[in-house]
């Protein structure tokens, strides 16, 4: 399958999916999300594939977030639908996958990019990677599960600090917080993710699938958090702060809140 915004390759039971919009720092526009759904779903039903690596093209960005240029005309209802559809078709698909999915974080993982990595089962980052959830600097909140998955991973205090300050942290800080499992040099990134996946591939695939399901069950999938996030994300689109935040980004200036 040929994609416009993804490069997909299969090797030694591993499917590698690279988000390929380098001039836009691999930002997730609608087409990229639709293609991601298709590529991940396809790898999950391909018998020979035992695991997936998600990464970004180039060495600057994994994914610098949702594509802000597509936000400009979105209203509250559309914002809610956007978050809902993305969460179900891509982020939950990855989170609940019956095969291991590793994020190979090769640079900036911001907003929807960090949320994409958080939905994966394991994260490996290069030492120059920067991670963060900068949505409040745009008058938004994370809308693809970031408020839930980051909190589950690092606890409420650290999650709130990262989300409310909108600050970026280094790969080393992310390692200390437990957001990433390993930090490696750029040249070792894919060797590290392949090594982990090939180890997992040597184990029982039915047991691996059951283990992912059981661990995910510990996160309380039935809570209302994701729904609350979607609703509040949608409401942000109706605010003057959102208009100012997105306009400022597009005009390459600091927002005035
Ligand atoms: N959505 C749409 N376009 C984006 C983008 C995003 N999330 N992130 C980067 N881009 C685009 C830029 O607009 C720019 O496009 P242009 O060359 O056509 O002007 C291009 O990618 C390169 O980005 P630029 O900002 O020039 O690179 P930089 O090295 O100066 O800064 C970042 C890198 C990551 C700090 C900066 O791009 C950034 O802050 N991006 C937005 C991050 C964000 O808020 N994400 C959450 C979205 S909800």
Contact (CB, 8 A) for 36 and 19: yes
How many angstroms does the Cα of residue 25 sit away from the middle of ligand 1? 6
Mutation pick for ligand 1 pocket among 19, 23, 24 (CB with most ligand atoms within 8 Å): 24
Of 152, 36, 162, 47, the residue nearest 91 (C-alpha)? 36
Residue 143 Cβ < 6 Å to ligand 1: no
Atom of ligand 1 nearest to the CA of 69: 2
Q: Strand 182-184 vs strand 130-132: parallel, antiparallel, or unpaired? A: unpaired
Active-site pick, 22, 135, 161, 185: 135
User: Looking at the DSSP assignment, which residues form a beta bridge with residue 182?
Assistant: 124
Residues of the chain with pLDDT under 50: none
How many angstroms does the Cα of residue 11 sit away from the middle of ligand 1? 32
**Cβ-defined contacts of 197-204 (< 8 Å, 24+):** 197/13, 197/14, 197/50, 197/51, 197/53, 197/100, 197/102, 198/12, 198/13, 198/14, 200/50, 200/51, 200/100, 201/13, 201/14, 201/50, 201/51
Mutation pick for ligand 1 pocket among 23, 65, 229 (CB with most ligand atoms within 8 Å): 65
Q: What is the pLDDT of residue 1?
A: 79
Q: What is the pLDDT of residue 219?
A: 77
Q: What is the pLDDT of residue 220?
A: 67
Ligand 1 atom 26: the closest Cα is on which residue? 24
Asked about 135 being catalytic, the answer comes back as yes
């Amino acid at each position: 399958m040929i994609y416009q915004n993804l490069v997909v390759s299969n090797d030694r039971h591993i499917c590698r999916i690279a988000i390929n919009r380098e001039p836009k720092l691999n930002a997730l526009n609608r087409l990229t999300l639709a293609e991601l759904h298709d590529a991940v779903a396809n790898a999950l039903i391909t018998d020979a594939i035992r695991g997936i690596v998600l990464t970004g093209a180039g060495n600057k960005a994994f994914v610098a977030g949702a594509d802000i240029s597509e936000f400009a005309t979105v209203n509250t209802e559309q914002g809610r639908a956007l978050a809902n559809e993305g969460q179900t078709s891509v982020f939950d698909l990855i989170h609940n996958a019956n095969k291991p999915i590793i994020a190979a974080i090769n640079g900036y993982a911001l907003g929807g990019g960090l949320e994409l990595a958080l939905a994966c089962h394991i994260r490996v980052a290069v030492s120059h990677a920067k991670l963060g959830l900068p949505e409040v600097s745009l008058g938004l909140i994370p809308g693809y599960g970031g408020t839930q998955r980051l909190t589950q991973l690092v606890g409420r205090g650290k999650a709130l600090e990262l989300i409310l300050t909108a600050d970026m942290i280094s790969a080393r800080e992310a390692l200390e917080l437990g957001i990433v499992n390993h930090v490696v040099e750029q040249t070792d990134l894919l060797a590290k993710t392949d090594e982990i996946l090939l180890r997992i591939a040597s184990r029982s695939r039915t047991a691996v699938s059951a283990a992912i399901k059981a661990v995910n069950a510990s996160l309380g999938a039935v809570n209302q958090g994701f729904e609350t996030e979607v609703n509040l994300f949608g409401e942000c689109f109706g605010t003057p702060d959102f208009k100012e935040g997105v306009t400022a980004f597009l005009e390459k200036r600091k927002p005035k809140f």
